[in-house]
Amino acid sequence: MKMEDPLARLGNLAPLIEKHAPYLHLHPAEVYRTGAFEDYLADPGMHYGPPRNKHPVPQPLPAGTSSRGGYLYYDWNNPRIRKGDLDRTRTYIHALEHQIWGADQPPGIALQFWFWYPFNGAGTGRVSLRLELQLPVKVKLKWPPWKSRVEDKTVLDHSFSGTIGLNPFGEHEGDWEQATLFFDHEQSLKMIRCHEHDYYTDYQPGEWAERNGRPVLYSALNGHPTFAMPGEYPTQKRSGGQLKPVGTMQRVSFNAEIAKVQADVKVGLINECRAGPAVDCATTGRVVAVTTSTKDGPLQNFQGPPAPAWLAFQGRAGDAEPNPKSTSKQFVAEFTRSFVDTFLDPVDHVLPGAVRKLTNGIAKDIVGGIAKRVAPPILKEIGKAAKIGDGGPRMPAGKSDWTPDWQAK
């Protein structure tokens, strides 16, 4: 498929995009990368309809409210589609007039940069482990001095931290993400709003890095929420009108041979951002929609390319069903394996000699015993906020972000 010049016929928006369009860094370990939605639609492995019908994708796609029950999807393990195609990535731009700083202010321009990922990978957990080990020891009594008793003595009290995969939490086909750049009436960039799951963060000038005078943003590993700086960010969920980190704390006690094991395990969902390959939104950007709301707004005389037909589709971009292999049993098995891989060597390294002598491989018994006991309650608690397998997302024009409350009236 031939790609047209993404900045062709953009009129007065072209200079703004060329000057300010961000760079978006994917994580170096990201395997589910961005792509072009047009390629996704045209792939012979794509299906349409109510799930499991496997009808070919109609051309053009259904539009309007009658298309809301439609699904675009592919066979779950199709590696060609799910990996995306960084070299053919397109960024889809929605230009709006805004008065986010008040109706008494002249309207400015907001540019929404929408990113398409054919697959959303599993979540990542930051795990904090506090491990206490006790051994029975004989303690002589002060009186009578020839008698003694057995007491539990703490021989290890140590804390560890690591990240583990939370497969299959968060896995689903299709992923639309976006970031919005806000310009004042003089076309000066005043704020960037990065969207992260069902919330957002506003960044002011000086709170983002720049390259060639343009903002540098970051897409988090697997789930792809957008941030303005590299680092590790807790996943949050709205509860009672407030944003709270998603996570849980579990305490377990059991015996490994004659050693008594007590462990406190804290797991929190996180978003990891690092500078891997970058998407240049100035060269990949294509204006797909312009929303004007005011009589004398800055976009009134805009002349741009026609919107792609798929933009009017109001169904979902991804299967309605989760990963067919996503089960509670799978999560427990995957969590146990990943937990042992992460903590076995650190725990084995600090075990005192008295514990090592109990049995060969006791470190694995301890770490594996912790993992098997905390996995089910972690599944229950995190599952309230992060489902095992979600259906695909709604299309951009069907999201509340597309027609936000800050849009100029």
145 plus 203 within the same structural domain = no
User: Which residues fall within 8 angstroms of residue 309, CB to CB, at 6 or more apart?
Assistant: 60, 61, 63
20: helix, strand or coil: helix
Structure tokens at 397: 């024009």
Q: Are residues 190 and 336 in the same domain?
A: no
The residue ranking higher by pLDDT, 142 or 161, is 161
**What is the average pLDDT score of the chain?**
88
Q: What are the φ/ψ torsions at residue 14 (nearest 5 degrees)?
A: -55, -50
Q: How far apart are CA 52 and CA 407, in angstroms?
A: 39
Q: Identify whether residues 247 and 286 lie together within a single domain.
A: no
Task: Specify the amino acid at residue 392.
Answer: G
Task: Work out the percent of the chain whose per-residue pLDDT is above 90.
Answer: 57
User: Do 111 and 50 reside in the same domain of the chain?
Assistant: yes
Could you tell me the pLDDT band of residue 170, with boundaries at 50, 70 and 90?
confident
C-alpha distances in Å from residue 365, one per residue of 44, 342, 356, 399: 49, 14, 11, 48
Specify whether 176 is located in the same domain as 28.
yes
Half-sphere exposure in the Cβ direction for 359 (13 Å, CA): 11
Closest CA to 391 of 96, 73, 150, 160: 73
Beta-strand runs (E) in 99-222: 108-120, 124-140, 148-165, 172-183, 189-196, 199-203, 209-211, 214-219
The model's pTM is 0.90
Beta bridge partners of 92: 114, 286
> Residue 91 in contact with residue 114, Cβ under 8 Å?
yes
Residue 80's nearest CA partner among 122, 30, 39 is: 39
Does 110 share its domain with 200? yes
What letter does residue 48 receive in the DSSP assignment? E
The pLDDT value given to residue 294: 63
Are 33 and 104 in a shared domain?
yes
Please give the sequence-ordered ranges of beta strands (E in DSSP) within 51-123, or none if there are none: 71-74, 91-98, 108-120
41 and 97 in a single domain? The answer is yes
> Tens digits of per-residue pLDDT, 244-279?
888 899 999 999 988 999 999 999 999 999 999 999
Give the domain extent around 375. 124-165+235-271+327-387
9-13, 41-45, 336-340, range with the lowest pLDDT: 9-13
Q: What is the DSSP letter of 88?
A: G
% of the chain at pLDDT higher than 70 = 89
pLDDT(11) > 60:
no
pLDDT (0 to 100) of residue 105: 85
Task: Count CB-CB contacts under 10 A for residue 196.
Answer: 20
Q: What is the DSSP letter of 21?
A: P
Question: What whole-number distance in Å separates Cα of residue 184 and Cα of residue 187?
Answer: 5
Q: Confidence band (pLDDT; 50, 70, 90) for 305? A: confident
**Whether residue 320 has pLDDT greater than 50:** yes
Q: Strand 259-273 to strand 247-256: parallel, antiparallel, or no bridges (unpaired)?
A: antiparallel
Same-domain check for residues 135 and 254: yes
Q: Examine the domain organization and report whether 6 and 26 are in the same domain.
A: yes
How high is the pLDDT of residue 1?
32
Does 213 share its domain with 335? no
Helices H / strands E in the chain, number of each: 7, 21
- Token pair 């007065």: residue: 12
Report pLDDT digits (tens) over 369-406: 999 999 999 888 776 655 544 568 999 988 888 988 88
Indicate the SS3 state at residue 341.
Answer: helix
What count of Cα atoms within 13 Å lies in the side-chain half-sphere of residue 100?
20
* Sign of the Cα pseudo-torsion (301, 36, 30, 125, in order): positive
Name the DSSP class of 235.
Answer: -
How many domains, in total, are found in the chain?
2
Q: Exposure string (b/e) for 112-129, b if CB count within 10 Å is 16 or more?
A: bbbbbbbbbbbbbbbbeb
Is residue 329 classed as helix, strand or coil in its secondary structure?
A: helix
The predicted pLDDT at position 126 comes to 96
Residue with tokens 């950007």: 285
- Predicted confidence (pLDDT) per residue in 73-119, tens digit: 998 889 999 999 999 999 999 999 888 998 888 888 999 999 999 99
Give the pLDDT of residue 8: 39
> Are residues 212 and 86 both part of a single domain?
yes
Q: Looking at the predicted structure, is the pLDDT value of residue 152 above 60?
A: yes
Mean pLDDT value across residues 351-380 = 91
Whether the bond into 205 is cis, omega within 30 of 0: no
